[in-house]
């Protein structure tokens, strides 16, 4: 549902790559990340273009008015948060500033090679746990959380299932 003029908040944006590419098609993106050095590198690499900005924030208190964004996204953020309570507070802030759909990529237990590869992964739960987490907050997962991609590695081309893609819409019940 993104189109030119959409406003996206990317929480845990790292250097802001997503916002850079969305800016090329007219989508204004603000990226927030706790890592000042990643943001600094992003500003050096991409500059500020198309209304895109990078701001330092933990995500626990987002410096934006309620309903400021048409979409809120995160990629590989939630598994790094220090427990369910803090994850709930970050998600609450995302809800407050958002005004539409959300997309969150979470490294989940089904992606065993990835979940165990990074010692900073603090929340190690299966996809169904995350679907229930979002549902308890009033959001419905509207697409399957698993997708298949073709990858090329040392064994050649192969199909690989990737888990933890949560396209969310506000529940109507």
Whether residue 126 has pLDDT greater than 80 = yes
Average pLDDT over residues 146-159: 83
List Cα–Cα distances, 20 to 8, 48, 93, 95, in angstroms. 12, 8, 23, 23
The C-alpha atoms of residue 112 and residue 10 are separated, in whole angstroms, by 25
Confidence of residue 159 (pLDDT cuts 50, 70, 90): confident
Q: Of 51, 31, 27, 29, which is closest to residue 41 (Cα–Cα)? A: 31
Give the pLDDT of residue 51.
66
């Amino acid at each position: 549902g993104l189109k030119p003029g959409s406003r996206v908040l990317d929480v845990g944006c790292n250097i802001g790559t997503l916002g850079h590419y969305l800016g090329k098609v007219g989508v204004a993106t603000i990226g927030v990340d706790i890592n000042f050095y990643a943001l600094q590198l992003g500003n050096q690499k991409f500059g500020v273009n198309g209304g895109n900005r990078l701001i330092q924030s933990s995500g626990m208190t987002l410096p934006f008015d309620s309903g400021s964004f048409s979409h809120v996204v995160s990629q590989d953020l939630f598994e790094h948060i220090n427990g369910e309570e803090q994850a709930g507070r970050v998600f609450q802030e995302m809800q407050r500033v958002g005004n539409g759909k959300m997309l969150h990529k979470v490294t989940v237990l089904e992606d065993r090679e990835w979940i165990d590869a990074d010692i900073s992964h603090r929340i190690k739960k299966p996809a169904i746990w995350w679907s229930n987490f979002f549902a308890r907050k009033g959001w419905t997962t509207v697409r399957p959380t698993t997708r298949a991609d073709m990858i090329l590695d040392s064994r050649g081309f192969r199909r690989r299932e990737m888990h933890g893609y949560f396209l969310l819409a506000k529940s109507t019940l």
